């Protein structure tokens, strides 16, 4: 409860100052969409903690995508990373939860110009082709299990391969119950929100009933 209270307080304060969000939420509900204000995403990003967590995270809408910038530790070298993310496709089943993401305008800037680390030298030389970040991700020394495919400007992630989800039968069962009923049709931004569009009964009523039976 101690962790939820600041979130509820922030939501109440934001809605109180932006009552138009209630009307927008109602319109979205009728259209099977829900949106998160970009300022809310910035607020949540600012609460990310941890020694290895990204710092000074900034999120900006670049419709239909979002630009994300953060200071990260890249092999011991502080780097300011930035990219525009476009979610091209979302697919879900009890066995996978895939996100196909396209990256544009990728930049990596060394924070300390006096740094002489190997990664700093590599970035300063311009030898890396940042226009094709997928090719770089494909050859990461410690490739995350979630990264299932990467090529050119596209990266495919399967969140079900994350260690916290891979062995959790409850998560798989929950997804198995939800997916036959409703799925994500699109994720895109407008100047002030990140919207998620939903599609009901993606495979039809008969398959929805069979899918629920399988999950149960």
pLDDT of residue 201: 85
CA distance 48 to 52: 10
pLDDT of residue 105: 96
pTM of the model: 0.84
3-state DSSP call for residue 78?
strand
The predicted-structure confidence for 75-132, as pLDDT tens digits, reads as follows 889 999 999 999 999 988 778 889 999 999 999 999 988 888 888 998 888 888 899 9
pLDDT of residue 1: 43
Burial letters 104-126, b for 16+ CB under 10 A, else e? eebebebeeeebeeebbebbeee
Pick the more confident residue, 197 or 163: 197
pLDDT exceeds cutoff 80 at 166? no
For residue 118, cis peptide bond before it (omega within 30 degrees of 0): no
């Amino acid at each position: 409860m101690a962790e939820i209270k600041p979130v509820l307080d922030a939501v109440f304060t934001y809605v109180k100052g932006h009552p138009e969000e209630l009307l927008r939420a109602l319109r979205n509900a009728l259209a099977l969409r829900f949106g998160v204000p970009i300022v809310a995403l910035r607020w949540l990003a600012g609460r990310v903690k941890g020694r290895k967590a990204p710092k000074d995270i900034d999120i900006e809408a670049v419709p239909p995508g979002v630009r994300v910038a953060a200071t990260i530790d890249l092999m011991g070298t502080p780097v300011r990373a930035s990219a525009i993310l476009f979610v091209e496709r979302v697919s879900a089943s009890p066995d996978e939860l895939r996100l196909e993401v396209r990256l544009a305008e990728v930049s990596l800037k060394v924070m300390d110009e006096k740094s002489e680390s190997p990664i700093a030298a590599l970035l300063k030389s311009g030898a890396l082709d940042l226009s094709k970040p997928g090719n770089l991700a494909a050859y990461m020394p410690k490739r995350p299990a979630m990264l299932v495919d990467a090529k050119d400007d596209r990266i495919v992630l399967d969140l079900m391969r994350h260690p916290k989800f891979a062995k959790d039968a409850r998560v798989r069962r929950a997804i198995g119950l939800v997916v036959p009923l409703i799925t994500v049709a699109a994720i895109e931004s407008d100047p002030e929100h990140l919207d998620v569009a939903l599609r009901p009964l993606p495979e039809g009523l008969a398959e929805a009933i069979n899918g629920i039976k399988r999950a149960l």
